[in-house]
Amino acid sequence: MTGKMKLTRAVRNILVKKMRKLQRRYIHKFLLDTPCNDIGCRVPKSTNFPHRAIGVVISSGVQLGENVTIYQNVTIGSKGGCPAIGDGVIIGAGAVILGPIRVGNCAVIGANSVVTKDVAAGSIVYGRVEKCSIMTE
């Protein structure tokens, strides 16, 4: 390998590392600091996307509370209305929240759950629509 090829490869590696660092810093910040005009909802700055909002779909009119944690592949949609998510809610990976429902403060929605009914504050919801289980403290 010639000296020129080594230098080119080294420069490329440095540039790739810098671009990835910029992506992590600014794309995530951009997601949280700007209103989502495409979908018509406002994402508060305190919303946490541990996996950088990969596969997250939020329909228009959804009301998100403060300090909500949304994992990957979550759908918060509408089926005759828009959900309202309370403060401090944790929504697990692959969960689907449909309809004009209210999710209370500090509720936990488990991974791959389908929620079509109201969820009380502090509850834990897991399972499908037919077998949706709600645990309260």
- What single letter denotes the amino acid at residue 20? R
Global pTM reads 0.70
- The tokens describing 63, both together, are 């009301």
Give phi and psi for 26, each to the nearest 5.
-95, -35
Integer Cα distance of 35 and 41 in angstroms:
7
What confidence tens digit (pLDDT) does each residue in 21-49 have? 666 555 555 554 444 445 567 788 888 88
What confidence tens digit (pLDDT) does each residue in 60-102 have? 788 999 999 999 999 998 778 889 999 999 999 999 999 999 9
Distances (CA, A) of 14 to 7, 40, 45, 78: 11, 39, 31, 45
Q: Which CATH number fits domain 34-135: 3.40.50.720, 3.30.70.930, 2.160.10.10, 3.40.50.300?
A: 2.160.10.10
Q: Domain segments of the chain: what residues?
A: 34-135
Between β-strands 75-76 and 84-85, what pairing exists: parallel, antiparallel or unpaired?
unpaired
Q: Report the chain's C-alpha Rg in angstroms.
A: 19
